[in-house]
Amino acid sequence: MAYSADSWMKEYNEAAKLADDIGGMISEHDKSVSSGPENQRHASSIRRKITILGTRLDSLQSVLTKMPGNRPISEKEMNRRRDMLSSLRTKKDQMASALNMSNSRIRDSLLGPDAKPADAMSRTVGLDNQGIVGLQRQVMKEQDEGLEKLEETVISTKHIALAVNEELDLHTRLIDSLDQQVDVTDSRLRRVQKNLAILNKRMKGSCTCMSMLLAVIAIVILVVAIYLVIKYV
């Protein structure tokens, strides 16, 4: 089955809807002032959707590029679709930049733009042995919490990578299938054009034979008419 213009528009509309969903998620993310695991998962989900959107746009661009020369849409429509695709890609890039800026804003609001880790040596000033032991335990606890957050980030990144990989595999299979469909459609069109040329040639030959037959009949009728006129006049 050939990849029709309506199918392309359906895929584009789905990509545009995904872009709108991402925009809504970024707006919700901008309202958050938390940098906890829930916020990180939300940001990771947005990044994953942006990656999926980019993959779909690449697929749509590939279909436009590989569409056969005798395509069912005009050149004007092709240019319009290229412009639509370019605008949606620009929107995708803007949303990715907005997400990065939002993450930076949240981090700065919590830590301050110039926040630096406290000097470990200065924290031990004025502490006795028991206080130093307590400080060490506190530092170890902070390190454990940091490792837990890092583990959550790694797991979230792994899930995103797996999801993106599945999406890429799916679109790769779709593109391969579309390539095959375009080749089949092109072959069918060539066969139809060849058959039309043969049919046109046969029709021309049939018209020539018919014209000759009509001419012979007309001559016979004319001869008979002349004979009758001569005989009875």
For the entire predicted model, the pTM comes to 0.45
Instruction: Give the chain's residues under pLDDT 70.
Output: 1-5, 30, 32-37, 68-72, 102-129, 131-133, 135-136, 139, 205-209, 231-233
What is the 3-class SS of the chain, one letter each residue?
Answer: CCCCHHHHHHHHHHHHHHHHHHHHHHHHHHCCCCCCHHHHHHHHHHHHHHHHHHHHHHHHHHHHHCCCCCCCCCHHHHHHHHHHHHHHHHHHHHHHHHHHHHHHHHHHHHHCCCCCCCCHHHHCCCCCHHHHHHHHHHHHHHHHHHHHHHHHHHHHHHHHHHHHHHHHHHHHHHHHHHHHHHHHHHHHHHHHHHHHHHHHHHHHHHHHHHHHHHHHHHHHHHHHHHHHHHHHC
pLDDT in tens, 19-42: 999 888 888 876 765 556 677 777
Domain boundaries, the chain: 5-117+127-232
Residue 44 confidence (pLDDT)? 80
Residue 2 confidence (pLDDT)? 44
